[in-house]
Amino acid sequence: MSEKRPTTRSSLDRELRAIEDDMLRMGEMVDEAIQGSLRALAERDRGLAQQIVDGDARVNKLRFDIEEACLALMATQQPAAGDLRTVVAAMNVVGDLERMADHAAGNARIVLRMGDEPLLKPLIDIPRMADVCRSMIRDSLQAFVRRDGERARQIAAMDDQIDGLYQQVFRELLSFMVEDPHTTSRALFLLFAAHNLERIGDRATNIAERVLFMTSGVMRELNPEPRESHDLQ
Amino acid sequence: MQQAARVSDFTAMMMMDENRAGGMIEFEATEAIFTRPKNPRTEDYVTGRFG
Amino acid sequence: MAESNQAKIVVEDLSVYYEGTLAVADVSLVIPERRITALIGPSGCGKSTFLRCLNRMNDPIPAARVEGRILLDQEDITGAEVEVDELRRRVGMVFQKPNPFPQSVFANVAFGPRVLGMAGRRAQLAERVERSLTRAALWDEVKDRLNDNALSLSLGEQQRLCIARLLAVEPEVILMDEPCSALDPIATLKIEELMRELSQRYTIVIVTHNMQQAARASDLTAMMMLRDDRAGGVIEVGPTQTIFTRPRDRRTEDYITGRYG
């Protein structure tokens, strides 16, 4: 795409920017939900957890508003080439963001379901997973607005970290349950929380894939092992 | 332009150079020209961004 | 965009007869001020006939008869006592084929003000001409060619000159009858950008057979179609975004999706 672009599509450009701004705002809401649900888990804050569950409706609404804006833009501005890929990518990304918010709300619900039982173990790997997730989301959305396909490619590698941490959590909680079956329900709560975060990481990889599609025009799965990646063209 | 997109199988993008001579700058399957053109000048033209 | 803008023109039960045959039937429409309203529909459905009623350009056609009311700022313009020249100053028109006078660029834009006694002193007139050409996004292209014959301009430039010509007499409404049909895509998009800018000051009504143009460039879209009695009527009107994403009338949907005949 050329650097300095002529301005005979000012309405189109304005509408695209508005969609991107809303997408970033949605990303912030997802980030808050992830961070909040983790804090609620660590601090056993049921009030905070409830807030996050209630806030999910706002995220859903924003998703539909953005999709509506994309629909209107396609109908009225007939985007082509890069513009078209951007709008299509944005529609997919907000779907992924909405699912992420669902997973974060799922973790908040876990806090509510856990009642007053003490945490089975101090939280170490789970918060690390959340941190990596949040970085991936922030970075992939930035890559989107900057049209940075190279950055998007790198983000996929971060998902390896999340998968690694998840394996660790799984093994650790499994051994708790094997050693003392009475810990099972508490272990499962933590396992579900970790699983939600692992799903969030997958969704963030999807976003990176969409960014790469947007910039390159090619839809490719971003595998952890680049040598095995396939062109789905 | 939308007509070209609708009815053709292949599209040739022609443009003037600085000497005002016309030439073909890109030739592709129509679907590729309108979803992922290779030449930035083709991209500018099909997206309607003219100076 | 504010949904509830003031009405600039209110059309009430407008019908047009050509030699006794009904051509446009019972059109009622509200044209909001400082917005762009597009009229779309198949050929022959009466769009241009309707448009011409808004500044009484059907008057010179002896076979045409108009019934109903057209209110400009709440005053009916259809009466015999209305000053038609003044009406056409306030409600100007741009045509499909650019029609500059075979005179210099400057003389084209100065013509209206001179005839209407708005010219004032030479410096004031020059200022008015420059302002009009600037507002028509043409000044940069012609500022060193003001004495050149208008017909030496490209078609796109000629069309913008026609717009400058009508801006020079300080209109309130700009009617456009297929203004880009004779122009290439580049000139067309430039005019669309210009329309967007002009709509901040002027009310614009455009007739176009180019649906994508209506979708891109307008705020409100009215769909016209021939009824069974072969007279044209408005079958649906709404915000452009709505008309092009979820029209209510099946016939509008068919037309917009290109499924007709």
* pLDDT 10s digits, A196-218: 999 999 999 999 999 999 998 88
Instruction: DSSP for C89-133, please give it.
Output: HHEEEE-SS----SSBHHHHHHHHHHHTT---SHHHHHHHHHHHH
Contact C218, C190 (CB under 8 A): no
- Within a domain: C131: no
Per the DSSP assignment, residues forming a β-bridge with C80 are none
Report the phi/psi class of residue C237: left, alpha or beta, with left for phi > 0 and alpha for psi in -120 to 50. Answer: beta
- C111 pLDDT more than 60: yes
Q: How many domains does chain C have?
A: 1
- A227 pLDDT more than 70: no
Query: In terms of pLDDT, which residue wins out, C67 or A2?
Result: C67
What's the pLDDT at A6?
Answer: 61
220-249 in chain C: CB under 8 A from chain A: 240-241, 244-245
How sure is the predictor about C5, in pLDDT bands with cuts at 50, 70 and 90? confident
How sure is the predictor about C55, in pLDDT bands with cuts at 50, 70 and 90? very high
- pTM here is 0.84
What's the pLDDT at C261?
Answer: 55
Q: What is the pLDDT of residues A71-100, one digit of tens each?
A: 999 988 999 888 999 999 999 999 999 999
Alpha-carbon distance C103 to nearest alpha carbon in chain A (angstroms): 30
Contact C11, C68 (CB under 8 A): yes
ipTM for the complex shown: 0.77
Contact B13, B27 (CB under 8 A): yes
B15 touching A (Cβ < 8 Å): no
- A3 pLDDT more than 70: no
B43–A1 CB contact, under 8 Å: yes
A1–B5 CB contact, under 8 Å: no
What's the pLDDT at C242?
Answer: 93
**3-state DSSP percent of chain A in helix, strand and coil, to 5:** 80, 0, 15
- A231 pLDDT more than 90: no
Q: What is the pLDDT of residues C14-25, one digit of tens each?
A: 999 999 999 999
Q: What is the pLDDT of residues C194-213, one digit of tens each?
A: 999 999 999 999 999 999 99
Query: In terms of pLDDT, which residue wins out, C229 or A29?
Result: A29
Mean predicted confidence (pLDDT) in A62-72: 96
How sure is the predictor about C95, in pLDDT bands with cuts at 50, 70 and 90? very high
Domain residues for the domain of C194 are: 7-102+173-256
- Within a domain: C49: yes
C185–B1 CB contact, under 8 Å: yes
Closest CA to A77 of C40, B12, C2, C192: C192
What's the pLDDT at C228?
Answer: 83
How sure is the predictor about C2, in pLDDT bands with cuts at 50, 70 and 90? very low
| Domain A10-216 classification at class level | mainly alpha
B23: tokens are 């030439």
C241–A77 CB contact, under 8 Å: no
What's the pLDDT at A44?
Answer: 93
Chains near A, with 3+ CB pairs < 8 A? B, C
Tokens 């290439």 belong to: C184
Share of chain A above pLDDT 70, in %: 92
How sure is the predictor about C193, in pLDDT bands with cuts at 50, 70 and 90? very high
- Within a domain: C91: yes
Tokens 């309707």 belong to: C50
Cβ-Cβ contacts under 8 Å, C137 against chain B: none
B28 touching A (Cβ < 8 Å): no
Mean predicted confidence (pLDDT) in A228-233: 42
Contact C35, C202 (CB under 8 A): no
CATH number of residue C205's parent domain: 3.40.50.300
B51–A6 CB contact, under 8 Å: yes
- Within a domain: C200: yes
What's the pLDDT at A9?
Answer: 85
- A222 pLDDT more than 90: no
Q: What are the extents of the domains in chain A?
A: 10-216
Q: What is the pLDDT along chain B (51 residues), one digit of tens a residue?
A: 888 898 899 999 999 888 889 999 999 999 999 999 999 999 999 999 875
What's the pLDDT at B51?
Answer: 55
Which residue in C186, C190, C212 is closest to B2 by CB distance?
C212
Q: In what order do the strands lie in the sheet with C64-72?
A: C75-76, C64-72, C7-18, C21-32, C232-239, C220-226, C36-40, C203-207, C173-177, C91-94
**SS3 letters across A40-60:** HHHHCCHHHHHHHHHHHHHHH
What's the pLDDT at C1?
Answer: 45
Cβ-Cβ contacts under 8 Å, C190 against chain A: 8
Strands C21-32 and B10-16: unpaired
